[in-house]
Amino acid sequence: MTAHAEPGRLQGLATTLSRHGFARKVARTAGFNIGSALAAGLGGIIMARAVGPTVRGEYAAVTSWFGLALMVGGMGQPAALCYFVARDPLRARDYVATSRAMMLVTGILSLATGFLLAPILAHGQPTVTVGYRIAFGASIMAFVGASYTFSLQARDMHRWNVVRVAQPVLSVIAAYSLWRLRLLNLDTALVILAATMSLQLGWAYCYCRRAGLVAGRVCAELIRPLSVYGAAQIAALTPALLNADLDQLVLSQTVPPADLGRYAVAVSLSLLPVPLVAAIGNVAFPRLASQHEVTSATRQLQRMAVLGSIGLTAAMLVPLAAVAYWLVPLVFGAAYRGAVPMLWILTPGSVFLACGGVVGDLLRGRSHPGVVAWAQGLAAIFTVVLLLALLPVVGVYGAAIASTVSYGVALAAMLRRLWRLPRHARGSGPRTPIPSKHLAPRP
């Protein structure tokens, strides 16, 4: 390579990014992600200071199990919808309508299952049982809302960003108001979650109407492609969720709530860079899905995305870890000082996690969700083995170690496959024939 080749390649990449507005969309999405993260973080601080470690741990347990229900019941449809709306815009309305019908069915099943399991998950505690039932009661709104929200990701990034940030912003406003009224507790916090998700659903529906994504028909022939892509996504999300949440799911059943509350604070701090870094993948995913040819600029974009995600995450987390010993008690209260060593252990793992999220979006955009599934499955094995080996020995610190190692394994496996993808050919993925009667968009 000559001395002038590398600057020329970088200039070509910059021209490509500028021409298609990629960098601008990443920056705008990152801004919304940061706003959402700040709102969620402020809500977490309010909750931690208002109710203490025990109730904070109960809240973490409820929301972890609710997150698992959303992942399983969601059937991978958020990613599937984004992919097919970007890939096949002429049938976007029908994809949205079909996915919405699928989500309505799974939402009802998730609600019923959650109501039955609530007493078991709560260990028979009446107050916590009510909390679980409030959370699972929001299942239908969450599933149907996802159908509208993630179709916007492929059609209108700005509206998608607005809808996403609305829920945490409304939540923190409501939580602060109840805190000042001395009414914030486990149940009211979960009522806020359900209410704001309902408002988010309405907002997403209105934006979808403006974007021309409603009034479609439920089409039986679209169920299969949505299900196939969604199944591949679920295959990736299930072990990914195990890697991300199995620690808290297990701790919710094995350690005192106060210990889980401190661990949840450490996790939330370690994840602060993720929303900013995730913007790279948020924009790259639908862009790659809409392309029918992989060019040299595509591969340059992949390299920049990976290096940028690592650099951004490290630049944010290393200074935070350095001042955590003084910062955590100051912000959350002296009762949370025990979260600091866990944050130190989780810091390198969060670098792996943030970069892995971007690499996963790159692979999904190139129609290789199965690779993400395989990598996350391998990492899940490490998670389970390490939790079993370390929890009896070092307690909650073992969960932090298990998470860090599993995130590193997932990232290494995905990176290895990403660099080995064909240089100038798209990966094979689900394809949907377009009947001639659907070639023209409907008014």
Tens of pLDDT along 377-424? 888 888 888 888 888 888 788 888 988 998 899 899 888 888 777 654
Choice among 4-8, 64-68, 312-316 with the minimum mean pLDDT: 4-8
Quote the radius of gyration of the chain (alpha carbons, Å). Answer: 22
| Per-residue confidence (pLDDT) for residue 295, from 0 to 100 | 67
The three-point CA angle 428-430-435 to 5° equals 125
pLDDT for res 429: 44
| Assigned domain for 431 exists | no
Is the model's pLDDT at 328 over the cut of 80?
yes
438: how many CB neighbours lie within 10 A of its CB?
16
What residues make up the domain containing 235? 7-420
Q: In the numeric block, which tokens belong to residue 101? A: 């019908």
Q: What type of residue is 378?
A: L
Residue 68 lies in a domain: yes
Q: Tell whether 440 is covered by a domain.
A: no
Higher pLDDT, 31 or 441: 31
Q: Is 410 left (phi over 0), alpha (psi -120 to 50) or beta?
A: alpha
- DSSP label of 91: G
pLDDT at 167: 86
Cβ neighbours of residue 317 under 8 Å, at least 6 residues apart? 270, 272, 273, 347, 350, 351
**Average pLDDT taken over every residue of the chain:** 78
Tell me how crowded residue 195 is: count the other CB atoms within 10 A of its CB: 16
Better-predicted residue by pLDDT, 19 or 331: 331
Which one is predicted more confidently, 143 or 10? 143
pLDDT classification of 120: cutoffs 50, 70, 90:
confident
Residue for token digits 């979006």?
361
pLDDT bracket for residue 15 (50, 70, 90): very low
Residue 246: predicted pLDDT: 66
Least confident span in 26-35, 193-202, 309-318: 26-35
Residue 412 located in a structural domain = yes
Residue 161, CB half-sphere, CA atoms under 13 Å: how many? 21
Separation of alpha carbons 183 and 185, rounded Å? 6
The three-class DSSP label of residue 426 is coil
Whole-number Å distance between alpha carbons of 139 and 131: 13
Tell me how many domains the chain contains. Answer: 1
Overall size of the chain counted in residues = 443
This prediction's pTM? 0.59
Q: Is residue 429 a part of any domain in this protein?
A: no
Residue 431 has pLDDT above 70, yes or no: no
Whether the predicted pLDDT of 329 surpasses 80? yes
Q: Note whether residue 77 is domain-resident.
A: yes
% of the chain at pLDDT higher than 70:
83
In this prediction, residues 20-29 reach a mean pLDDT of: 69
Residue 432 lies in a domain: no
pLDDT of residue 236: 61
1 within domain boundaries: no
Compute the average pLDDT of residues 143-165.
Answer: 83
Rounded CA separation 255/66 (Å) = 19
Tokens 């659907």, residue? 438
